[in-house]
Every structure is written in structure tokens, then in C-alpha cells.
Chain A
Amino acid sequence: MRQKGLKSLLVLAFSLFLVLKGTIIFAQEGGHNSPAHNTEKKFNITETILEHVSDSYGWHLWGHTSISLPVMLYTDKGFEVFSSKNLADEHHNPVAYQGKNTYMVNHHTGKVEIVNADGTPNHEEKLYDFSITKNVASLMVSVLVIMFMFLAVARAYKKTGVTSAPKGLQSFLEPVILFVRDDIAKPNIGAKYAKYMPFLLSIFFFVWINNMLGLVPFFPGGANLSGNIAFTMVLAVIVFIVVNVSGNKNYWGHIFWMPGVPVPMKIFLAPIELMGVFTKPISLMIRLFANITAGHILVLALICLVFVFKSMAIAPVSVAFAGFIYLIELLVAFLQAFIFTMLTALYIGMAVEEHHHAEGAHH
């Protein structure tokens, strides 16, 4: 009975494949013959995906509608603020804006540059970009979301205390907060965990909520904020500072004069351990960046298949796959926040540990 069901499923899948294959070939032939397709700009999948995962000066909503954000530049001629709608025409092609200098968005890097009269970039004049870009605006949105959530919950705890049952938003957040405390902070840091709880909770919810907002495909989500390496770098620098400021003499002793090994080995291990101080936050930075960016790229690539094949038949397949990856990404959004926080707690635990093993193992 079961085998029969499997067989019919196989037949169905195979015939669907044949039908799709036929449709694709037919669609491709149709595309070559009709003159309408020749006038269309060739679809560039890499460019489209990179445009969607990278930062931009305006916040695109749909079609030709986008939110203009302020562009703030500091040059030799002073500070200057103008709207990002001056930098692109209605087809999203970059145009020059005449301010104190002439500014134009570089097509490859996506950053504003000073250009000469003939349109060539001028790299001699220095330019500091403080613009409220899409990522900065998204950061503000997520900060508002987090503030709304946590101020409401904190007010509820203040009013009813910890003895009565949680209500509303409180009952959603309390298990997650307890999860961070009991499964991340306590096992990794040990007795001194309470001091680091505010930091770990901030990191966890900040990363998680930004990951989730990045997965919302429409305004006010959709900015690939936690897949931006500057964002993850700032988080990693904060972790670096917290870990090394809380490091006690055991921690530094393990780095510069590893106990329990012969003297030549101590000298040999010191530079390696010192390098480890820096590679830990760097690995945190790259892990979060690569996971979130790769997730966005995967979803976008699957959606882009529709435009690559220009076929109605391929659309359900690619949308189904994109939906599947999307669900995995919801898990990854949580998992990456969890791993970031857990490793932070682990590093803090290593830094504040009082007693160490006699054989000199530092884990």
C-alpha cells in the first residue's frame, strides 16, 4: 500500500518535471521570437540580489514608490543635508545632485561620491557620509520596537511584581528571558551571571528582532541590517570590550603565561592565545553576517528563478522553495541570536572564571 503511494507520487513528480521542462523550452523559444523581449533590459540576477541585500539611500516600497531618506555629508566645504530623491530618477538610475559639490551615487559600490563636471569620480576631496540610510532607518525602527516591548514588560513587572502570573506581552517574553538566563548565562558564566544578564539580554533580543525584521519582506522590515558587516562588527567590538574589561588575572595569565606547560611552550603559546583574543569577536562578526546574508541571498535567488526562466510554470516551484527556505530562516534568525549570545556568555565565562584546571585546559 505504502509502496503504491510512493510510486504514484514518483509518477506525479516525474510528469510534473516533464511538463515544466517542456514549458521552459517553449517559453524560451517564445522569448526569442517576440520583439518585446529584445527591448527589455537583460535580467542580471547577481546585480538584483546584491541590490536587495545591500544598503541604499532611499527605502524602496513598491514599483516607483520609495521613501526618501536624508543624505548627510561632511566635506571640506562644510556639512550638507539633502533628500535622497535628488540622487535617483524615477527609474532608480543614479543622477548627479548639485550641492556645495556635485554628488552622484557610484553604480558599483552604491555609495555617494563627489564627481567632476564630466561625471568622473573625484577621490581627492574627502567625503564623510553620515546619511540616514535604509539600514540606519531600519535600526531606528527596531530600537522603537524593542523599547515598546521592554518598557511595557518592565512596567508590568513593576506594577504586579514577579509573584503574580504574567499577562499579555509579558507571558511571551518571560520564557525567552528565562531561557537566556537558565540556558545561556548560568551554565556558561557561573555564579557571577547576574551582572551580565542585562548585556546578554540586550544582545539576544537586539540580534533576534533585527533578524526577524530583516525577514519581513515589506516596510518597515526588509532591510538586511543584521546581514550588514558594519552592524555585526559594532556588536563584536562591544563583546570584545566587555570580555576583556571583565577579564581577571587568571584570564590574562592563561593568555600570556599558560599555567601547567613547560616554559618554551608558554612562550610559544602566548602569541597564539593573544591572537585568539581577537579571532573570537571576529568569528562572531563573520558568523552573523554570513548566515543572515546567505539566507537573504538564497530566498532572493529562488524568487529570481521566475524572472530568469520567464515562465509561469516555474513560479509555483520557486515560490514553494523560497517559502521553505523562509521557514528555515525563521529558525536561523533565532539560532544565530542564540549562538551569538551563547558564545558571548562563554567568552565572558572564560574571562571571569576563578579556578582553572591543573592541566591548563582553557575551555
Chain B
Amino acid sequence: MVGSLAAIGAGLAAIGAGIGIGQIGKGATEGIARQPEAANDIRSAMIIAAAFVEAVALFAVVVSFLGLNSGGAA
């Protein structure tokens, strides 16, 4: 029971992170298409923003994993 709840939690976080990274990719490709000469700057800014979004999803993975373990032990 706790295991499936943890999996649902991780899945919800993946949805959020997917939307976020999709938006970043969209913004970056649009920006590069408009201004190809700024591609390098946009790419590094994109990677940083993606790392922030990804971090939130990873928080959820860690939290659900810890919940999984403590739920299993209890």
C-alpha cells in the first residue's frame, strides 16, 4: 500500500517535471530559432533551468523512496 502510494507520488512529480522541462525546451528552441547567434547563451541558461526543475522531481523521488522504506519497516 505504502509502496504504491510512493510510486504514485513519484509519478506525479514526473508529470510536473515533464511539463516544466518541456516548457524550458520549447522556450529555448524558440529563442534559438529567433536568434541563432545567441544559441550558446540560451543553451547554458536552458541547462541550468532544467537542472532546477529536475531537482524538484528528484526531491520527490528521494522522499517517496524514504517513505517506501520507513513504510516497509513499520
Are A339 and B48 in touch, CB under 8 angstroms?
yes
In the complex, chain A residues whose CB is within 8 Å of the CB of B52: 339
Q: Which 10 A-B pairs have the closest CB atoms?
A: A294-B58, A294-B61, A290-B59, A290-B58, A290-B62, A46-B69, A287-B55, A335-B51, A294-B62, A291-B58
Residues facing B in A70-110 (CB within 8 A) are 108
Chain B's closest residue to A292 (CB) is B58
Knowing A46-B72, A108-B73, A287-B55, the reply to whether A297 touches B47 (Cβ < 8 A) is no
Determine if A286 is an interface residue (Cβ-Cβ < 8 Å): yes
Determine if A293 is an interface residue (Cβ-Cβ < 8 Å): yes
Determine if A180 is an interface residue (Cβ-Cβ < 8 Å): no
Residues facing A in B24-59 (CB within 8 A) are 44, 47-48, 51-52, 54-55, 58-59
Number of A-B contacts (CB under 8 A): 40
Binding site for B on A (CB under 8 A): 46-47, 49-50, 108, 183, 286-287, 289-291, 293-295, 297-298, 332, 335-336, 338-339, 342
Determine if B68 is an interface residue (Cβ-Cβ < 8 Å): yes
Q: Determine the distance from Cα of A342 to Cα of B72 in the docked complex, in whole angstroms.
A: 39
Q: Determine the distance from Cα of A217 to Cα of B58 in the docked complex, in whole angstroms.
A: 21
Q: Determine the distance from Cα of A286 to Cα of B61 in the docked complex, in whole angstroms.
A: 13
Q: Determine the distance from Cα of A294 to Cα of B44 in the docked complex, in whole angstroms.
A: 23
Binding site for A on B (CB under 8 A): 44, 47-48, 51-52, 54-55, 58-59, 61-62, 65, 68-69, 72-73
Q: Determine the distance from Cα of A339 to Cα of B54 in the docked complex, in whole angstroms.
A: 13
Knowing A108-B73, A297-B61, A297-B62, the reply to whether A290 touches B55 (Cβ < 8 A) is yes
B44, B47, B55, B61 pick with most chain A CB within 10 angstroms: B55
Q: How far is the CB of B19 from chain A (nearest CB, A)?
A: 19
Chain A's closest residue to B3 (CB) is A46
Q: Determine the distance from Cα of A335 to Cα of B61 in the docked complex, in whole angstroms.
A: 19
Are B62 and A293 in touch, CB under 8 angstroms?
yes
Q: How far is the CB of A47 from chain B (nearest CB, A)?
A: 8
Q: Determine the distance from Cα of A289 to Cα of B47 in the docked complex, in whole angstroms.
A: 19
Known pairs A335-B48, A339-B51; list 14 more (Cβ under 8 Å).
A46-B72, A47-B69, A108-B73, A286-B59, A290-B58, A291-B51, A291-B55, A294-B58, A294-B62, A297-B61, A297-B65, A298-B61, A338-B48, A342-B48
Q: Determine the distance from Cα of A49 to Cα of B44 in the docked complex, in whole angstroms.
A: 33
Q: Determine the distance from Cα of A287 to Cα of B59 in the docked complex, in whole angstroms.
A: 8
In the complex, chain B residues whose CB is within 8 Å of the CB of A335: 47-48, 51
